[in-house]
Amino acid sequence: MFSVDSDRRFMDDVKKTLLEKANIHLPDAFLKKYLHAVNERKATMEQVSEEYSRYSDHLKWQLIENKVLKENKIVVSAEEALEHVKNMVRDQFAKYGQSDAEDDQIKSAAEKVLANEEESKKVYDKLYTNKMMNFFKETFTLTNKEVSQEEFFKHE
């Protein structure tokens, strides 16, 4: 019942652990000035400083993620993305009682989704995240632990 929450929690723990172990140092002063400049000075330096830790953690995670993807040759093909979206379209059609939709109709709808740059990015991001999670689950030594619902959500 909580497998999606468990996977999200797993990835949060992986990110936290890898960020700590990687000990990546960024040019913080430069990046703060850069962020202030690219925001066309809409945000004060104080606001940039307040938000900076989230930005820097995100940037560090991107560096780690890109390294893991590259070193382990983890890729998402256009065919995988199309199949994923076709399954999503089939599910949507089925929800509206159209479980007998033609393959051409499903493929056409999926291609329209992937033609939208924003939606396509979401699909690829989700597939990469899934592949990364599977890679970590296969690579790390994991100990499954059964906990109560209260204990699980207490750490959120």
Measured CA distances, 48 to 6, 24, 27, 39 (Å): 33, 20, 14, 9
Q: What is the mean pLDDT of residues 22-26?
A: 94
- Residue 102, pLDDT > 90, answer no
Say what the pTM is: 0.81
Mean pLDDT to the nearest integer, 51-69: 95
36 lies in a domain? yes
Asked whether residue 65 falls in the same domain as residue 84, the answer is no
What average pLDDT score do residues 143-148 get? 83
- Show the domain range for 30: 16-71
The structural domain count of the chain equals 2
The more confidently predicted of residues 123 and 155 is 123
For a pLDDT cut of 70, what percent of the chain falls above it? 97
Report if residue 154 sits inside a domain: no
Final residue belonging to a domain, choices 31, 55, 71: 71
In degrees, to the nearest 5, what angle opens at C-alpha 46 toward C-alphas 40 and 51?
A: 85
Residue 129 to residue 78: CA distance in whole angstroms:
16
Is 60 within the bounds of a domain?
Answer: yes
Q: Is 41 left (phi over 0), alpha (psi -120 to 50) or beta?
A: left
